[in-house]
């Protein structure tokens, strides 16, 4: 156990416990539909990702999982009639997962954030949440930059991001021409582009 005054370790332990709670929630959602927690996540990504991110390999990276585990999860979702497989014409070795109407209906009822956690956060003031969110974003960006995590479509790792110190008083998105104050920074943006700022 960490020393009582080791705040860094206590934050890490808190994140681990949150991750366990999230996994338990995913399992309970999966139980309602007769699928596993991993299958809930695969279905969610297949329902909410653009085509290029619905490849089995892309979903594997997104979930930081093993390819065999995601292939097996996809097989079961196909068997249950929630997904179909499509050969990728641009890469014949790749498979794209498409949700069926049943898959979309199932996913719509499997909102994957525990309501108790959402409700708790809604009650917390922004003055507590904004610094916490920024600590998370900066830590994730560091982990992405040293290759500990493979996928992170956040403003802090996007080539369109202009930090406040470079371009005025507030950070901006060069692509969307929007101001990005600390509470508006995105963690998963569909306009994200990897690479160094231009
Ligand atoms: S494109 Fe998206 S991720 Fe990139 S800076 Fe703009 S808002 Fe942020």
Q: Helices then strands (H, E): number in the chain?
A: 7, 5
Going 140 to 187 to 51 to 26, the CA torsion angle's sign is positive
- Per the CB < 8 A criterion, the answer to whether 42 and 62 are in contact is no
Q: Is the pLDDT of residue 5 over 70?
A: no
pLDDT of residue 153: 92
* Alpha helices, DSSP H, located in the chain: 7-33, 37-48, 56-62, 67-79, 101-109, 115-123, 126-145
Distance 191 CA to ligand 1 centre (A): 6
Ligand 1 pocket check for 137: Cβ under 6 Å? no
Mean pLDDT across the chain: 89
170 CA to centre of ligand 1 in angstroms: 14
Residue 10 has pLDDT above 90, yes or no: yes
Residue nearest to atom 3 of ligand 1 (CA): 155
Q: Where are the chain's structural domains?
A: 7-108, 124-184
- Cα distances from 71 to residues 39, 67, 92, in angstroms, run 10, 6, 16
**Atom 8 (ligand 1) nearest CA:** 155
Which of 134, 155, 179 most suits a substitution to test ligand 1, by most atoms within 8 Å of the C-beta? 155
Ligand 1 center to residue 178 CA distance, Å?
Answer: 9
pTM (two decimals): 0.79
Tokens of 136: 């998370």
Q: Give CA–CA dist 177/175, Å, rounded.
A: 6
The secondary structure of residue 182, as a DSSP letter, is G
Q: Over the stretch 122-181, which tens digit does the pLDDT of each residue have?
A: 999 999 999 999 999 999 999 999 999 888 999 999 999 999 876 668 999 999 999 999
- Residues 109-121, mean pLDDT to the nearest whole number: 74
Query: Could you tell me the distance, in angstroms and rounded to a whole number, from the CA of residue 47 to the centre of ligand 1?
Result: 22
Residues constituting the chain: 198
Look at residue 119 in the predicted model and tell me its pLDDT.
83
**3.10.129.10, 1.10.287.3510, 1.10.10.10, 3.40.50.720: CATH of 7-108:** 1.10.10.10
| Whether residue 192 has its Cβ less than 6 Å from ligand 1 | yes
How far away, in angstroms, is 49 Cα from ligand 1 center? Answer: 17
């Amino acid at each position: 156990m960490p020393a009582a005054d080791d705040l860094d370790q206590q934050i890490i332990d808190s994140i681990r416990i949150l991750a366990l709670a999230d996994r338990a929630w995913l399992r309970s959602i999966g139980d309602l539909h007769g699928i596993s927690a991993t299958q809930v996540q695969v279905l969610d990504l297949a329902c909410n990702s653009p085509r290029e991110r619905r490849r089995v390999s892309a979903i594997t990276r997104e979930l930081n999982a093993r390819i065999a585990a995601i292939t097996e999860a996809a097989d079961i979702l196909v068997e249950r009639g929630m997904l179909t497989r499509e050969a990728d014409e641009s890469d014949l070795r790749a498979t794209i997962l498409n949700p069926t109407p049943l898959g979309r209906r199932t996913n719509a009822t499997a909102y994957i954030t525990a309501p108790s956690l959402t409700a708790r956060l809604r009650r917390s003031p922004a003055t507590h949440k904004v610094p916490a969110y920024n600590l998370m974003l900066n830590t994730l960006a560091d982990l992405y930059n040293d290759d500990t995590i493979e996928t992170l479509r956040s403003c802090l790792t996007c080539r369109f991001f202009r930090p406040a110190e470079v371009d005025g008083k507030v950070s901006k998105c060069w692509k969307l021409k929007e101001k990005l104050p600390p509470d508006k920074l995105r963690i998963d943006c569909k306009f994200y582009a990897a690479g160094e700022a231009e």
